[in-house]
A and B are shown apart, each in its own frame.
Chain A
């Protein structure tokens, strides 16, 4: 079946602009996770959804970052007023309840 998909695959934006990153989880997966991967920080957890609610937002780096999930499916990660340090690959993963997490291909964000 289809895996986790993310769009866009690449995004180049100017400092100060807002960006939206989208994640389509595996059909039927109840849990959805956002991580980011950067050279300096490695792989970092951002936020976790169970259904449409987010029990753990502890990894969001600042209030410029927000995420939502609707219909227990698609999730959008929004970064407002982007900064150069936001440049990274943003990875989404989904799982059935607390099972193994399957990752999408990521969105590479470059902030100029």
Chain B
């Protein structure tokens, strides 16, 4: 079946790099996504990666995909207090629906 797992909490100091990890089970997933949710807000699409890619970089964000291990990570360089939020990893299921992980709460300490 389809399942996505994430660690629940990460705390970093401002200026450090943050790495949020995710594992998924559906090897047929074509796209994998990262969304950010700030308190009281909807989901903001941060970035996504096609399953035949290993890495994608977008400004401070780097996504790494290990398809063999079904492992996805999001690295945020030079983490700022404004990056504090919940980050969701999602895989696209066979009908286009997204299957989300539980979300990782990122706490950035000044």
Contact = CB atoms under 8 A, between A and B. Distances in A.
A43 B88 contact: yes
B58 to A, nearest CB: 13
Given A100-B48, A101-B98, A104-B42, 15 more contacts: A4-B42, A33-B96, A35-B98, A42-B101, A43-B98, A43-B100, A45-B97, A48-B95, A56-B95, A93-B43, A100-B33, A100-B45, A103-B35, A103-B42, A105-B41
Nearest to B95: A56
A33 B45 CA distance: 15
Interface of B: 31, 33, 35, 41-45, 48, 88, 92-93, 95-103
Interface string A97-110: 01011111110000
Contacts of A102: 45
State which size class the interface on A falls in.
Answer: 20 to 34
A91 B40 CA distance: 12
A45 B45 contact: no
Given A42-B102, A42-B103, A100-B48, A31 B42 contact: no
B59 to A, nearest CB: 17
B97 A48 contact: yes
Contacts of A100: 31, 33, 45, 48
Contacts, number: 51
A28 interface: no
A95 B1 CA distance: 24
A57 to B, nearest CB: 10
A59 interface: yes
Contacts of A35: 98
A55 interface: yes
A55 B95 contact: yes
A59 B97 contact: yes
A37 to B, nearest CB: 9
Contacts of A101: 33, 45, 98
